[in-house]
Structure 1
Amino acid sequence: MPSIDINCDMGESFGAWNMGADEAIMPHITSANIACGFHAGDPGVMLSTVRLALRHGVALGAHPGLPDLQGFGRREIVMNAAEVYALVAYQVGALQGIAATQGARLHHVKTHGALYGMTGRSRALADAVAQAVFDIDPALQVYVANRHMTDAALALGLKVAYEVYADRSYQDDGTLTPRSQPHAMIEDPDLATAQVRQMVLQGSVRALSGKDVPLKADTLCVHGDQAGATVFAQQIGAALRADGILIAAT
């Protein structure tokens, strides 16, 4: 039976500011990427999100990003490999500690926003992320969607899960359409569901140009800050189950 993990970026509220619909989405996913306080989140939000995920049997993942609360981690900051290593180790270690207070362990790590984009262009930065993950716990998985991050994780013997996106469009080279460009986001649940079914069942995605691009799909991301994210998760999950696809953490 084919299978897919459905992951979602969560715990992105901060203080009195609320982001996303975590309680509504959590029952419809199988792994949660929890913000670690740099691009979003704070210690209290991290703890409450871990508890929420555990109540629903959802796998825990750290979602480290750049130190940019105002820009939500989507603005690039020039950093060298040593700095990236430290910021990833700090964030993953913090969430690992919070998980331990609840008798739980982390399942995976997934980089956020601009940090993800930076690793896609720099093998040195990807190596720094992978090394930080390995040094904390070599049993952790890394969710990957670019070549450098994939190669860096595999070089250390880390398990990888190939990530695809329900609510983002693709380019001919298999990369995501930049958010700054038209049609980067898919806002129609029916279109998103059709894209996911093709990715999971056929191992390809239709790029904006109309070209079918091959890819691997182990885990599917639904963005928690996307409008209608709960509807996306519900509809996509129902469609995949109707196709006989098992939905479970990798």
Structure 2
Amino acid sequence: MPLDASLNCDAGESFAQYTIGDDENLFPLVSLVNAACGFHGSDFDVMAKTVALARQHGVACGAHPSLPDQQGFGRRVMHLPPDSYRNCLLYQVAALVGFLKVEGLPLSHIKPHGQAYVMAARDLDLAQQIAKVAKLYGVPVLGLPGTAHQRPASSKAPSSSPNGPYVDVLYSDEGNLLAPRSAALRDPVTPDDVYKRARRLIETGTWTSKSGEKELSFPEGTTKVSICVHGDFPGAVDVAGAVRRAIDDVKKGVVQAA
């Protein structure tokens, strides 16, 4: 049976006069958005606009907190003690919750950004800190199955649909996300590539590593997945559109062209 798939995107990552991403055209395509909270992108005005846009399009809005790394867009490794990591996330989530209250929206979920996400996938102590913040607000964490994000020891947060894998970046043979330091350094991808990856992911629960030598898969028993698109990548709207078509085609039973 195909996986029950939804589409989420990272959003609200502009800052002051700098525009990053095309949220206006992304939001109609997705089911939920991960709103930047100020530490890698966004500011108080951008956050307000992002939440209002989520309400306008009827999409669920979750927090996308980052390590405190605006210059590196949250994609550089920073070593924080677990309690400082938790406080860093809590500070940002609380800010977003205030803007959500203004628009009458609930917090949907928490999905850390960049290295805050990658590091916690490998470090159970950090994954537990995310879960503590999520439990405080009674929301799920979007995390990659088979990693520390969703180990039983970190299940202080409500259960959630697993996030990923991403279809606009690649993975190592060990299953680790090969996160680019910037959008310009990502591996080239076309909407056709993305459509094929998304179809395979939904229909078989598998994907291929960057080398092409390793087939990766979800843990046994996985039934749901939320596929994420990076909103800051050029062509993100086309990529999201390809994922949306894949999700809809699988649901309709449309046969994929050879």
**TM-score, normalised on structure 2?**
0.87
Contact preservation (8 Å) 2:54, 2:61:
yes
List structure 1 segments (4+ residues) > 6 angstroms apart after TM superposition.
Answer: none
1:1-250 matches, cutoff 5 A: 2-135=3-136, 137-138=137-138, 140-145=139-144, 147-151=147-151, 155-164=155-164, 165-179=166-180, 185-210=187-212, 211-215=214-218, 216=222, 218-244=225-251
Aligned residues with identical type, % of pairs = 34
2: CA distance, partners of 1:152 / 1:13: 36
Give the Å deviation of 1:177: 2.5
Mean Cα displacement is larger for which, 76-85 or 236-245? 236-245
Aligned length: 242
Mean Cα displacement is larger for which, 98-107 or 202-211? 202-211
2: CA distance, partners of 1:3 / 1:235: 17
1:125-173 per-residue CA deviation (whole Å, 9 max, x = no partner) reads: 11112112212x12x0110016112126752152122111110112223
Give the Å deviation of 1:226: 1.0
Segments of structure 1 that go 5 or more residues without pairing to the other structure are: none
1: CA distance, partners of 2:5 / 2:47: 25
1:192-242 per-residue CA deviation (whole Å, 9 max, x = no partner) reads: 111111111111112223332112551001111111111111122123212
Give the Å deviation of 1:2: 4.8
2: CA distance, partners of 1:213 / 1:145: 12
Structure (1/2) with the larger strand percentage: 1
Give the Å deviation of 1:185: 2.9
Give the Å deviation of 1:34: 0.2
1: CA distance, partners of 2:124 / 2:173: 22
Contact preservation (8 Å) 2:15, 2:42:
yes
Contact preservation (8 Å) 1:89, 1:133:
no
Mean Cα displacement is larger for which, 93-102 or 126-135? 126-135
1:29-80 per-residue CA deviation (whole Å, 9 max, x = no partner) reads: 1110000011110111111101101111111010000111111111122210
Contact preservation (8 Å) 2:130, 2:141:
no
Segments of structure 2 that go 5 or more residues without pairing to the other structure are: 254-258
Contact preservation (8 Å) 1:130, 1:153:
no
**TM-score, normalised on structure 1?**
0.90
**Secondary structure at the residue paired with 2:251?**
coil
Give the letter for the 1:239 counterpart: A
> What is the RMSD computed on CA atoms of the aligned residues?
2.0
